[in-house]
Structure formats: C-alpha cells, structure tokens
Amino acid sequence: MGNNPDTGKFKFPLDLGAPVGSLEGRSPAVDNGLDIPDPSRYYSREFMEKEWQHLWPRVWLIAAVTADIREPGDFTVFEHGHEEFIVVRQDDGSIKAFYNVCSHRGNRVCQVDRGTASSFTCAFHSWEFGCNGTLNKIVDEETFNKKLVGHRPGLTEVRCETLAGIVFINMDGNAPPLKEWMGLPEGYLEAYDIENMNLVRHTRSEWKSNWKTGVDTFYESYHLPHVHPQTQGAIEEFSQIDLYKNGFGRMIMWFGIKSHRHPVEHERDLDEGVKVMLRDAGIDLATYSGTVADTRRDIQIAKRERAKRLGLSNYERLTDGQLSDGWITGLFPNVQIGMHAEGIFIMRFVPHPTDPDRFFYDNMLLYRHVDDPNYAVPAWMAMPDGIDVTGETRPDIERWSADESPGIGPVLIQDYDLVAHVQRGIKSRGFKGPLWGDQEARVRHFHREVDRYIKGEIPPANATEGTDR
Amino acid sequence: MTVGRVKVAALDDVPMNGNKAFKINGRSILLCKSDAGVFALENRCSHMFAELEGGRVRGAYLFCPKHSVRFDMRTGASGGTLTKVPLQTFAVTVAADGNIEIDWPE
C-alpha cells in the first residue's frame, strides 16, 4: 500500500493536484503585491483604535459553538476586546445575541462564562431581562419617570447567524449576511459535522503580543522546522496554500509523513510522531510493515475502514487527504481552525481590551466522541489526562495570565514564547517592516484585507443601534 | 430541632430536572431531582444570597436563577468566579416508601 511521493522531490508550493473547484483544489492565484507595511500596525494605539472604528464592528466574529447552547435558555458569553455578548438559545430553537450590558447603568448583566437560565438579572439593581432580551422587570419601577423607561429598554441585540455548528455575531447592522461574506467555499465547514462534536477543552491564555502578531505566526508553516523542530518527523511544512475571498485562506499540511528536510536512514525509519499517528488510526504497530513512503496513505486507509465499520457517515464527505492532513483554515480576521476528521481546534486571536501589546489566545477543542475502544482523541492533540471527552461534561475555561506559562502543550508553548520576542523586535527602530515570502502568502492576504477595512476601501456601513462604542 | 434522618417530602413532590424548597428546622432546604440523582442543598446562593428555588437543573448542576452561578449538587461547590463559597449539602436517602429523607447534622 501507499503512494506517498518521494520526499526528496518535495517543492513549494505543495500541490495536491485535486480538481480546481473542489474543496481540496487549489484556489485561483491572487496578486496581493509586495508592499511592506509600516510595523506600527502591530503596536500603536492609533492603529488599535482604527481597528475598533473600521474593522471589529463590521466583521462576523465567532462567538460560540452550538454544542455549548443546545437547549432553550442555554447561554454563553463571548468576550472580544472591551465588548461582551450573551449568546442564547431561544425557546423556538433559534439563537440570539445581545451586548452583555444592562440598559440601566451599563453593568455586565451576565458575569459567568456560560450556563442555562430562564432570565438574566443584573447584579447592580436587579433589573431582569428575558432570554429574548426583553426587559421583564424594573425594581421600584414607580420611581422612574415613564419618559426614561416607557419604551422598555431591553438588551441591545446584535446580528447572529449560525453556520455548520458555529455561531457568529456582527455588530454592523448593514454587513452582508454571513454566508455571503464567508470566504470559504460552500460546504467546507459543513463537511466536518461540527454540530455533532462536543467542546472537550477550552483554554484562554494571555500572550505578550498584538493579536495580529499571533495570527501571522499561525498563518504560515514556514516557521515549523525552526520553532517546532520536533514536528519534522511527522509533518511536512511545505503546504498547499489557498487564498479565498474576503481575507480567508487555508493551508493543507500533510500529517503522518516526514518533512522533506528530515533525514531518512532507511525505508523503515518511522518517526515516533508518525507511529503515534498510525496508532491513532487504529493500526497495530506490532504487525505494521509499511515504509516511510506508506505511512500517510495507510493512515487514510485505516481511518476510512474504521469509519465504515463504526458507521461514521460524515467521513463520506471527507477526502482521503482530510483523514490524514490538517486543513488549517483561516476565517478573517482573527480565527484559525485546525480541521481534522476527529475534531477541530478553533483558535481565536482575541484583541486585548486596552493594550495593543497583548492578546488572548483562545482555543476550543471540539471532538466527536465515538464509543469504541479503537477510537480516541488523537494523541498529537495533546489532551491532558483525565479530561472527559464524551461530551457529558462541558469543562470550564482554563485561564492563564500573561506571566503564567499556559498548559497548552509543548508545540503551542513554543509559539507563546516566540511571539513575545517578535513583538518586542517589531517595535525596534531597526525593523523596517515585514518581508513576507511566498510561504507567507496567507499572512500578506490577511493584512491586505485588514487594510481594505482600515483604509476605507470597503464602503463604511451606516451605524445602527448598538454598533457605536 | 430534629437531628439525624429527617423526612422532607415525597419523591413525586419534586419535579424531574427541577427543584422545590421545604422548611426544615426553620431553614429553607432545596430538594433537586435530575438524571444524576436527588440532592438536598441550602436554598441560599453563596453569591448574593438569592433563593435558589426555581434555578435550572442540568445533570449534576444547579444554576442560581438570579446570576447563573453554577453549583455542583453533589458537593455544593461553585463554578466560576462570582463566589468560592460552597453550598451546604445534606446526604439524601430515598426511603422504600418513596419519601426523601436527609441527614440533619447535630
């Protein structure tokens, strides 16, 4: 079995040769020029303010996953910079989102991360709001002039739409509908059956850089051999890079194969990381006879057969490549999703409320539980021992402040350490701006789209209620 | 005051995935019932002292109806950051006659 190419012939860009127009196919070429942006975008308060004027209020942001709000009254709070939103499942099954702000004095109405409720009571003066945002009760209402409260000021609603088990909000009343704005090809997210996954781990750590420094790091695999050398035995860093509309992008990374840079001593020179991936696919290493050229393909075959045996119908929508590889998917502006057949990582690069030199790295791991002894969370996902992956328990968010080393696994820690140094260097008088190469095309594509908003190339929408700061 | 095992209510008096408060020895005790079992806790949130009766029950967890603080009904432990003070819990026995009894400490 096995048809992996000779790793010695690898060249960038990786081209899987999938049909153009298919989900796996290469996107049409995009010319984003060779501009070198001023590095102040990474640290100046002026640029941060511009983002809050022209970018954040106008784009669709991932606010929640439906797995967290399955029943009426289930809610979760989404924090983004200085803004917070309550996302609530309604009695009719729809989902609404509101600014987490009491209409009386501005207090945060909800001060927990998530839960289930019949109503929300502000902790300041106990004004009560329904899950649909209506103002249910004003304590001592007779002491308020009707001119102030006669219009029954409820929670301020924001637009909320759902796609493939992911809930998005948009502060701009005039933004295009989510599906129209979504840069990913139709059916891309849906193929992974995210609705049937459970959120099994949620971490949020404060990193010492601008949110865009974080995005830049995760939007390319060029740094892999240098920052994450331990991955070289099991992941190829030359990716297929696809640039989609509206700043979206994707890189397909081959898993289960040695990097083309990695030495191969002999044909059975299997890396420990590859062995882990073979085992994750249900392959018995004691009897496995494949060579270094077979591993990725054998992982695909084993997972395909296992899915058939277990009746995992969504695998029929996934290509063989999706069973082994990482489809590392960027949702403009601040999300990257590591998409895998067993589960997905939704990584949000959340701007700090006040400090352009900080952001929050928010990582939600969703996993589709299959009750079978031959099926488990892939070991490379670095799940700590003892975590319930059945979906019975929705874990609390694990939080780390900027000066604590977050418990996010050895690979992500390397990124955490890296970005602080990059952020400091970017601010040096000696740095003239980033020089992005072809392997960093997604980074350039992302910044080009940021600039379209900041420079007003996208006509500003009319402000609507609740969209102003 | 009655100590030791105290009868509180009939099992059917407490709605499934819900709760109901009863006065025992001058204190309000909340009985909760879910697929995780039957639980008895003090009917006062340790955050802002709201009554917990009417709060939603989901599995082993009770949510305060005011500010949504989550309590583990098995231990009384709170989740989140609003309070770290656990609720007092009482050991529950469902007697053969279908009554819910709790152990009242001396």
- The pLDDT of residue A181 is 95
Q: Give the H/E segment covering residue A49.
A: helix A45-50
Question: Which residues make beta-bridge pairs with A251?
Answer: A241, A328
Compute the distance between CA of residue B17 and CA of residue A441 in angstroms, rounded to an integer.
Answer: 53
Contacts of A342-347 with CB under 8 Å at 24 or more apart are A342/A367, A342/A368, A342/A377, A342/A378, A343/A197, A343/A200, A343/A367, A343/A368, A343/A377, A343/A378, A343/A381, A344/A192, A344/A194, A344/A197, A345/A381, A346/A62, A346/A65, A346/A166, A347/A218
DSSP state of A31: -
For residue B69, the distance in angstroms to the closest alpha carbon of chain A comes to 7
H-type alpha helices, A175-294: 178-181, 211-218, 224-227, 272-280
Q: Give the mutation candidate from A70, A89, A116 for the B interface (greatest B CB count, under 10 A).
A: A116
Residues of B in contact with A71 (CB under 8 A): 58
Q: Please give the radius of gyration of chain B, using alpha carbons only, rounded to the nearest integer.
A: 13
Partners of B81 on chain A (C-beta within 8 Å) are: 111-112
DSSP labels, B15-57:
-TTEEEEEEETTEEEEEEEETTEEEEEESS-TTT----TT--E
Q: What is the nearest CA distance from A32 to chain B, expressed in angstroms? A: 45
Domain ranges for chain A, please list them.
7-58+183-454, 60-171
Query: What pairs with residue A97 in β-bridges?
Result: A87, A158
Token code pair at residue A304: 């395909």
- Helix axis angle, A410-426 relative to A211-218, nearest 10°? 130
Q: B56 vs A121: CB contact, 8 Å cut-off? A: no
pLDDT computed for residue A462 by the predictor: 52
Give how far B17 is from chain A: nearest CA, Å. Answer: 12
Whether the CB-CB separation of A459 and A175 falls below 8 Å is answered with no
Per-residue model confidence (pLDDT) at position A188: 96
Beta strands in A141-274 (DSSP E): 157-163, 166-170, 198-207, 240-243, 249-253
Angle between helices A441-454 and A211-218 (to 10 degrees): 150
Cα distances from B73 to residues A85, A199, B37, in angstroms, run 28, 22, 9
Q: Please provide the DSSP assignment of A278-309 as one string.
A: HHHTT--TTT----TTTHHHHHHHHHHHHHHH
- For A60-171, the fitting CATH number among 3.40.50.11900, 2.102.10.10, 3.40.50.300, 3.40.50.720 is 2.102.10.10
- Closest-CA distance of chain B to residue A365, Å: 20
Q: Choose the closest CB to A111 out of B54, B59, B67.
A: B67
Res B86 pLDDT > 60:
yes
b/e B64-92 (16+ beta carbons within 10 angstroms → b): bbbbbbbbbbeebebbbebbeeebebbeb
Q: What is the pLDDT along chain A (469 residues), one digit of tens a residue?
A: 334 455 556 778 888 889 999 999 999 999 999 999 999 999 999 999 999 999 999 999 999 999 999 999 999 999 999 999 999 999 999 999 999 999 999 999 999 999 999 999 999 999 999 999 999 999 999 999 999 999 999 999 999 999 999 999 999 888 999 999 999 999 999 999 999 999 999 999 999 999 999 999 999 999 999 999 999 999 999 999 999 999 999 999 999 999 988 888 889 999 999 999 999 999 999 999 999 999 999 999 999 999 999 999 989 999 999 999 999 999 999 999 999 999 999 999 999 999 999 999 999 999 999 999 889 899 888 888 888 999 988 899 999 999 999 999 999 999 999 999 999 999 999 999 999 999 999 999 999 999 999 999 987 655 444 444 3
Q: What is the pTM of this model?
A: 0.94
Q: Do A116 and B67 touch (CB under 8 A)?
A: no
Q: ipTM of the assembly?
A: 0.93
β-pairing, A398-400 vs A198-207, is: parallel
Write the residue in B54, B67, B80 that is nearest to A123 by C-beta. Answer: B67
Q: Among residues 13-72 of chain B, which lie with CB inside 8 Å of chain A? A: 48, 54, 56, 58-59, 63, 65-70
> What does B38-104 look like in DSSP terms, one character per residue?
EEEEESS-TTT----TT--EETTEEE-TTT--EEETTT--B-SSS--PPPPEE-EEE-TTSEEEEEE
CA distances from A330 to A314, A416, A441, B93 (A): 22, 19, 12, 54
pLDDT at A71: 97
pLDDT of residue A6: 56
Closest approach of chain B CAs to the CA of A69, in angstroms? 13
Topology annotation, domain A7-58+183-454: Naphthalene 1,2-dioxygenase Alpha Subunit; Chain A, domain 1 (3.90.380)
Q: Residue A438 has what DSSP assignment?
A: G
- What is the arithmetic mean of pLDDT over B62-89? 97
Both tokens of A398, joined, read 């694990």
Which sign, positive or negative, has the C-alpha torsion B86, B91, B94, B99?
A: negative
CB A82 within 8 A of CB A38: no
User: Which of A71, A112, A396 lies nearest to residue B68, judging by beta carbons?
Assistant: A112
How many angstroms separate the CA atoms of A165 and A278, rounded? 29
Q: Among B67, B73, B84, which would you mutate to test the A interface (most chain A Cβ atoms within 10 Å of its Cβ)?
A: B67
Give me the pLDDT at residue A461, please: 57
| Alpha helix positions (H), A394-466 | 410-426, 441-454
Cα–Cα distance measured from residue A461 to residue A210, given in angstroms and rounded to the nearest whole number: 26
Residues of A with CB under 8 A from a CB of B: 71, 73, 75, 110-113, 115-121, 123, 126, 392, 396
Peptide bond preceding A13 in cis form (omega within 30 of 0): yes
Answer yes or no: is pLDDT of B40 > 90. yes
pLDDT, tens digit (0-9, with 9 covering 90-100), for A80-118 = 999 999 999 999 999 999 999 999 999 999 999 999 999
Classified as helix, coil or strand, A358 is coil
Nearest CA distance, A120 vs chain B (angstrom): 7
- Give chain B's domain count: 1
Domain that holds residue B29: 4-104
Residue A176 tokens read as 């295009």
Using a CB-CB distance cutoff of 8 angstroms, which residues of chain A are in contact with residue B79? 112, 396
| Structure tokens that stand for B60 in this block | 């082993």
Query: What pLDDT is recorded for position A469?
Result: 36
